[in-house]
Structure 1
Amino acid sequence: MAATKELKAQARSLVGKGAARELRRQGLIPAVIYGDKKSPVTISLPFKDAQRAIYDGGFLSHVITLDVDGTKHSVIPRDYQLDPVKDFAMHVDFLRVGKGTKLNVQVHVNFINEEASPGIKRGGTLNVVHHTLDLTVNADNIPDSIIVDLTGLDIGDAIHLSSIKLPAGVTDHSHEDDLTIATIVAPSALKSTEGGEAEATPAA
């Protein structure tokens, strides 16, 4: 699990489109903290900090600490809005995270040991079906990634969720039966050769 990031923020009392536009002119973006059976808190974030956090990757799958005028909140970003033309951050929604909170998040899949895959050595290609997995996790123990070991996999082999060892406390949230994560597919040259041989074989 990665170290928890911290963002500085400040409380705001004015809401609405006019107030949001004024914040953006000041280099801030509006945001809100909600959940955990507490009243929502409207805040503003420095534009540069929010923009960097969003584009660093994994923004919606990591718990962060929001320091709001000296009061710290443990939260996870649940949604954000971008300007449709410039891709600038416009608004962020944060969900409070209490002790023992379970979250549904998307976690990146990391494939290792390609050099130990006979299929890839023979020119096969790793065909990734799912780059991320929908998982239910403990808020205080969100994995950075799920590791898939390609050692020993040959052309035609498929990696299913059932063959992956998930970290303790992590469960599948995809609702699909034994999700296919990736396959090792034959190179196009091999496919062409096999196809040509099949066509050249006379009918019985």
Structure 2
Amino acid sequence: MSDQITLDAVVRTDLGKGASRRLRHADKVPAILYGAEQEPTALTLEHSKVLKAQEAESFYSSVINLNIDGTAVQAIVKDMQRHPFKPKVTHLDFLRVDATHALVTTVPVHFLNEETAAAVKNGGIVNHLANEIAISCLPANLPEFIEVDLADVEIGQTIHLSEIKLPEGVESVELAKGESHDLAVVSISAAKGGAAEEAEGEAAEGDAE
């Protein structure tokens, strides 16, 4: 795990669209912090700090330390709004986390040995069917990502959620709903019109002659 991300924030009392617009013009980011059975708190963060922090993949899938007027609060990012074409973050939603209560969130999937897998070297094509997985765990067990090793996956094989080894203390939200929610995560398929099919076609023509 990488070092925990810390962001400074201040409580804001000037609310509404006009206030949020003024904040953005001042290079600030309006945000909301909610959850843990507490009243939502409106916050303001420095845009430059948020923009730098969100460059890390872990920003979206790890517990962040919010320093709110000198008080440390643990939270995760639940939603982030961006400007449609400018490199600007326009709003953030944070969810408070309690060390004693499980949280539900999504984490990215990292596919290992994608280029060196034997199936890929033999012409197979990797199909990413899910790039993130919904999980439930205590904040202390929250992984930044889930690894799926493709080294031994064969052409025509599909890897489902039930075949992925999750870190200790981490559960799949979908699998908890039952076997019918055992979603496909990745597969390796044969290349259409590839060398293998051409070879088969030539063999068939030879038999016909």
Please indicate, yes or no, whether the TM-score normalized by the shorter chain is above 0.5: yes
How would you bin the TM-score normalised by the shorter chain? 0.7 to 0.9
- Report the counterpart of residue 54 of structure 2 in structure 1: 54
Whether contact under 8 Å (2:31, 2:43) holds in the other structure is yes
Q: CA RMSD in A?
A: 2.4
- The answer as to 2:192 corresponding to 1:180 is no
Measure how far apart 1:197 and its partner are: 5.7
In the alignment, structure 2 segments of 5+ residues that lack a partner are none
1:189 aligns with 2:194: yes
Task: Tell me the distance in 1 between the aligned counterparts of 2:82 and 2:115.
Answer: 40
Offset of 1:84 from its aligned partner? 2.4
User: 2:37 is matched with which residue?
Assistant: 37
Change (3 A) 1:141 1:180: same
Deviation at 1:198, TM superposition (A): 8.8
Once the two structures are superposed, the pairs formed by residues 7-156 of structure 1 within 5 Å of their partners are: 7-114=7-114, 117-156=117-156
Read off the aligned partner of 2:7 and give its amino acid letter. L
Q: Which runs of 5+ in 1 are unaligned?
A: none
TM-score by length of 1: 0.86
Question: How far apart are residue 14 of structure 1 and its match?
Answer: 0.9
* Cα distance, 1:87 vs structure 2: 4.8
Mapped to 2, the partners of 1:50 and 1:115 lie a distance apart of 34
1:155, 1:43 → 2: CA distance? 50
Deviation at 1:25, TM superposition (A): 2.1
CA distance in 1, matches of 2:147, 2:185: 11
State the one-letter code of the partner of 2:88: F
Identity of aligned residues (%): 36
- Residue 186 of structure 2 aligns with an amino acid whose one-letter code is A
Check conservation: 1:127, 1:182, Cα contact below 8 A.
Answer: yes
